[in-house]
Amino acid sequence: MTTLLDLPGDPTLERRRAVQEAAASSLRRRKLGSAVALGVCWVFLGIAIVPLVGVVAYVVAKGLPAWSVDFFTKSTVPEGIPGGGVWNAIVGTAVITTVAIVVTVPFGLLVGLFLAESDGRVAASLRFTADVMTGVPSITVGIFGYIAIVRNFGNSGFAGAFAIGFIMLPVIVRAGETAFRGVPTSLNEAALALGARKVTIARKVVVPTALPGVITGVLLAVARGLGETAPLLLTIGGNQYLQWNPTKQMEALPTFIYSSSSQPYADQVQLAWGAALLLMVVVLVLSIGSRLFAARLRKERR
């Protein structure tokens, strides 16, 4: 049975044939271009991975011999005396990071939720401020913390937590906003149709749904804050003894690596390599674990 499309001179059929002929004539060229582009991508991926693998392998080779029971359980000893570990730096890093998380995460997520729910001038100004803060050099943050806190109250763990929290805050804000905006509008509309208030919707619908993205953003912000050295050099003061009180001078892994790596004593340099390996492992675990945990949460919600 003949249809209208099969009649000679039909414009729709002619356009379809012209498109098929043009695609067939350029198929070989497009395949070649795709293969070349893919090859270039693989080459640049190899160029990026080779130095990364080299750095990781070098740090592992240098730092792994320093790992021992004393390394994780004893504090730093004075220069020239063999032995000792980085327990004081581990405790200081944990205390400073915990204080920064407790203060920064709730505030950053609240701001991110506000930005996700608002599009006015205030929201635009906050969004622009967060973007600018993301690009501020860490040494500038350290100088700000030194002027604002250290000059008035002295070196302390709180000063270091303030500087680290200042670095983590914009990452948490932007990650929270992205996660909250990713919640389907149909869920909000359904909750509004049931008579729920906006506060209730945000607490029982938006936040639980966006939880995987929120957790990923928080863990990535923590991973970034752990590796910062310049702000801590200007704020915590350093302490070779074990200190749990954040109002006192404390040691941290980044500052320990910086100070010990320049010592003329081989045992101190060895401890610095071990601390660098430890810090690298923690950041790697946080980065990979955040993505795996978020993927698991998304899978469970499906």
- Residue 55 located in a structural domain: no
- Residue 240 located in a structural domain: yes
HSE-up of residue 30 (Cα within 13 Å, Cβ side): 6
Residue 46: partners with Cβ closer than 8 Å, 6 or more residues away: none
- Residue 286 located in a structural domain: yes
- Residue 75 located in a structural domain: no
Q: How many domains is the chain built from?
A: 1
Global pTM value: 0.79
pLDDT in tens, 90-145: 999 999 999 999 999 999 988 888 888 787 888 888 888 888 888 888 889 889 98
Look up residue 242 and give its two tokens.
């074990």
Q: Do 72 and 87 contact (CB within 8 A), yes or no? A: yes
How far is the CA of 188 from the CAs of 39, 203, 274, in angstroms? Answer: 45, 11, 50
The CA distance from 300 to 57, in Å, is: 36
- Residue 62 located in a structural domain: no
Helix (H) or strand (E) holding 244: none
Of 168, 48, 41, which is closest to residue 100 (Cα–Cα)? 168
Look up residue 147 and give its two tokens.
């002027």
CATH number at residue 175: 1.10.3720.10
- Residue 77 located in a structural domain: no
- φ/ψ region of 154 (left if φ > 0, alpha if ψ in -120 to 50, else beta) reads left
The CA distance from 66 to 138, in Å, is: 29
Helix (H) or strand (E) holding 9: none
- Residue 40 located in a structural domain: no
Encode the chain (302 residues) as per-residue pLDDT tens digits.
445 445 555 677 777 777 777 667 777 777 888 888 999 999 998 888 988 888 889 999 999 998 988 888 888 887 767 778 889 999 999 999 999 999 999 999 888 888 887 878 888 888 888 888 888 888 898 899 899 899 988 889 899 999 999 999 999 998 888 888 877 777 777 777 777 777 777 777 777 778 878 888 888 888 888 888 889 988 998 888 888 988 899 999 999 998 888 888 888 888 899 999 999 998 888 888 777 877 776 676 66
The CA distance from 171 to 131, in Å, is: 9
- Residue 61 located in a structural domain: no
The CA distance from 228 to 246, in Å, is: 18
Helical spans, DSSP H, in the chain: 11-25, 27-63, 69-73, 87-117, 121-134, 138-145, 151-153, 157-181, 185-193, 198-201, 207-209, 211-226, 230-233, 253-261, 266-301
Range of the structural domain that residue 165 is part of: 86-301
Q: Do 246 and 157 contact (CB within 8 A), yes or no? A: yes
